Amino acid sequence: MKVKALRELNREELVKALHEKHQILKDLRFEIAQGKVKNAHVIRSTKKEIARILTIFNSK
């Protein structure tokens, strides 16, 4: 998600998005451990999205 779109969300929607991203990150870690995912940079981008959500959540 883009930062502008995240800023328009309320606190409940931010929490929901945060839980979704954490679940995606967890699934990616398992897939990488099993050797299913070749692009490890997907984890880095997911972590950055989580950080963006947390930054906006804490600023509200």
Q: What is the pLDDT of residues 4-38, one digit of tens each?
A: 998 999 999 999 999 999 999 999 999 988 988 88
- CATH number, span 3-59: 1.10.287
**DSSP summary character for residue 35:** T
CA 31 vs CA 8, 46, 48, 50: distances in Å: 32, 14, 19, 19
52 contacts 17 by C-beta, under 8 angstroms = no
Q: H/E element holding 49?
A: helix 41-59
CA 16 vs CA 12, 40, 51: distances in Å: 6, 25, 14
Domain ranges, ordered by start, for the chain: 3-59
- How does pLDDT run across 34-55, given as a tens digit for each residue? 988 888 899 999 999 999 999 9
Single pTM value for the model: 0.86
